[in-house]
Amino acid sequence: MTTSEPSSAPVPEREAPNATDQKPRLTTKILRETSRFAAIQLLSALLAAVAQIALARLLDKRDFGVFGICQFYIGLGQLLGDGGLGATLLRRKHAATVEEYRSTLTALLAIAASFALALFVFAPQLAAKNKFTHEETFVLRLMAPLYFVGALRVVPYVQLERELSFSRIARIELAANLTRHVTSLVIAALGGGVWALAWAQLASATVQLTAAYRAAPGWVGLGFSWKIFRPLIAYGSKVQALSLCAYFKDNMSRAMLGSFVGPAGVGLYDFGVGYIQVPVGAVNGLARVQLPVYARFEAHDAELHAALRGAMRTAMLAGIPLLAALALVGDWAVPMIYGAKWSAAMPVAWGLLLNMVCGLVLSPLFTLLQGQGRAGLALGVFATWTAGTWLLALVGLELFPANLGVVASAQSVATVAVTLVLMIWASRHLGRNALDGLGAPLIAGTVALAGGGGLRRFGDGLFAHPIAVAVVFLFVYVGVLWLLEREKIAAEAKAIYAAVRGKG
């Protein structure tokens, strides 16, 4: 029963070009928004890296571990509460109606209230399971309002993403991230410990929500119609199952390691993940731009293959040298930049290196699955990936207790297997070789890493220094790549530059 006047009219989308010029304008907008989104995301990532360095020196491993575990429970509740409804509205071929937005928002707020109450009541039990102190239990309760923020921002975010306004979304998130960094640094400098991270998260979420409604104004109201809601949740539940599997895979340390090694071990593992995954995080962020692009083309369309190939090749060309350089300089850079207490995280970073290389192409591949309407297949693959990762990690912990490097290596083994499966599927689905364009970066990276690893192991004096090893790796990588694909690399660099300048 709705509480306001029903309306089946679609919410107008702000750009509706004529059929004759729709495709050129759409392509231009995709290039422009993707380039601007990537540029702003890069700036945001750089600011986050600077803030992380300062926080790593101000806070302890346990502070990060406690906050990470709290985030796991908040994120899990938000994920279950969303029900895939936002993704459902985003994937619709036609504009969503006011009633659909209204029913979605009302359902999400009701679920958020339930999860917030449950978290408040059961916080002591969750804290005991993860070896929290009495004070740390209140951190978990403080973060309960975040359930409501996730529900409230669904409507403006869906509207912005359907308009392909990704550069506007990036600016919103940049403002929210700046708020989080400033808040956390100030409170941490005053000796706030884990509270610095908790209050910063709340402040960031508030800014993000406010900015989202300023960018896409309009309150759809509250009301509920089961007739309208039922088809939304029927599709959304499939999407949500995939997201749930991904969440448990990506947050394995926060879900599992707390009871095995305590919050400090979780903080150490998460630091290793955060240190080595920076290039992959940028690629995953671009998946939001790629999804509506992949959904617009048929399986055997040459433009779909070109879009996928471009996304994976760009990620590999830039990501492989960045990942290898981070690993090679880590023994020197981590203690110098972040502090000696974080050196123990380097086995995690090395164990995850292969996982992250595969992650550069897995994000576009899974986005292709969703964009092409293969939600069932995506769910099956992701469920198998998650189960395999957890199983291998548990076996590793049983054989080598508290060895975080073994847990990281288990993630890499599972990820390599999934990558091979999806590459085979994508080649068959597209009718073209999905590996096209990836051979040269892989060959160059392998040769350069072998050279850098040999120098790291057998070099003497200055040549054994991690910076020298990383420089040698980069020179060898670029040299091999230039020998293999000189003309192609030059042409692609010009095309990317033109797109960023808005000339594409």
Which of 229, 250, 271 finishes a domain? 250
Name residue, tokens 């492989």: 320
Name residue, tokens 């509460």: 81
Q: Which of 40 and 198 is assigned the larger pLDDT?
A: 198
Tell me what pLDDT residue 59 has. 92
Let me know whether 146 and 230 are in one domain: yes
Name residue, tokens 């109606």: 97
Tell me what pLDDT residue 2 has. 40
Tell me what pLDDT residue 182 has. 94
Closest alpha carbon to 449 in 346, 357, 335: 357
Residue 10, helix vs strand vs coil: strand
Let me know whether 150 and 274 are in one domain: no
Tell me what pLDDT residue 1 has. 39
Which of 407, 437, 467 finishes a domain? 437
Highest mean pLDDT of the ranges 258-262, 355-359, 430-434: 355-359
Let me know whether 380 and 420 are in one domain: yes
Let me know whether 225 and 82 are in one domain: yes
Buried b (16+ CB within 10 A) or exposed e, 485-494: beeeeeebee
Within 13 Å and on the Cβ side, how many CA atoms surround 34? 25
Residue 387 lies in a domain: yes
Q: How confident is the model at residue 193 (pLDDT cuts 50, 70, 90)?
A: very high
Tell me what pLDDT residue 350 has. 93
Express each pLDDT in 83-112 by its tens digit. 666 667 766 666 777 888 888 888 888 888
Do residues 32 and 502 touch, judged by C-beta distance below 8 A? yes
Residue 4 lies in a domain: no
Q: Which of 4 and 380 is assigned the larger pLDDT?
A: 380
Which of 196, 225, 250 finishes a domain? 250
Cα(171)–Cα(194) distance, rounded to whole angstroms? 27
Residue 294 lies in a domain: yes
Let me know whether 90 and 154 are in one domain: yes
Tell me what pLDDT residue 409 has. 93
Task: Please report, in angstroms and rounded to a whole number, the separation of the first and last CA atoms in the chain.
Answer: 49
Tell me what pLDDT residue 284 has. 61
- How is residue 436 annotated by DSSP? T
- List, in sequence order, every residue forming a beta bridge with 10; answer none if it has no partner: 97
Tell me what pLDDT residue 27 has. 57
Let me know whether 359 and 383 are in one domain: yes
Residue 494 lies in a domain: yes
Tell me what pLDDT residue 310 has. 78
Let me know whether 87 and 184 are in one domain: yes
Q: What is the mean pLDDT of residues 62-71?
A: 91
Name residue, tokens 């973060």: 143
Express each pLDDT in 162-178 by its tens digit. 776 677 888 888 899 99
Q: What is the mean pLDDT of residues 327-346?
A: 91
Residue 192 lies in a domain: yes
Let me know whether 424 and 443 are in one domain: no
The total of structural domains in the chain comes to: 3
Q: Which of 279 and 146 is assigned the larger pLDDT?
A: 146
Instruction: Name the token pair of 98.
Output: 């006011």
Do residues 360 and 320 touch, judged by C-beta distance below 8 A? yes
Q: Which domain, by its residues, includes 148? A: 24-250
- Evaluate if residue 7 carries a pLDDT over 60: no
**Strand residue runs (E) in 315-402:** none
Let me know whether 462 and 370 are in one domain: no
Cα(76)–Cα(111) distance, rounded to whole angstroms? 12
Q: What is the mean pLDDT of residues 405-415?
A: 92
Residue 3 lies in a domain: no
Highest mean pLDDT of the ranges 235-239, 310-314, 319-323: 319-323
pTM of the shown model? 0.73
Residue 14 lies in a domain: no
Q: What is the dihedral of CA 368, 369, 372, 377, to 10 degrees?
A: 170
Q: Of 13-17, 446-450, 463-467, give the lowest mean pLDDT range.
A: 13-17
Express each pLDDT in 445-463 by its tens digit. 889 988 887 777 777 767 7
Let me know whether 366 and 457 are in one domain: no
Residue 464 lies in a domain: yes
Alpha-helical (H) ranges within 59-84 are 61-82
Q: Which of 452 and 136 is assigned the larger pLDDT?
A: 136
Let me know whether 330 and 383 are in one domain: yes
Residue 479, helix vs strand vs coil: helix
Express each pLDDT in 211-236 by its tens digit. 988 888 888 888 888 887 777 776 66
Do residues 297 and 303 touch, judged by C-beta distance below 8 A? yes
Let me know whether 500 and 382 are in one domain: no
Q: How confident is the model at residue 26 (pLDDT cuts 50, 70, 90)?
A: low
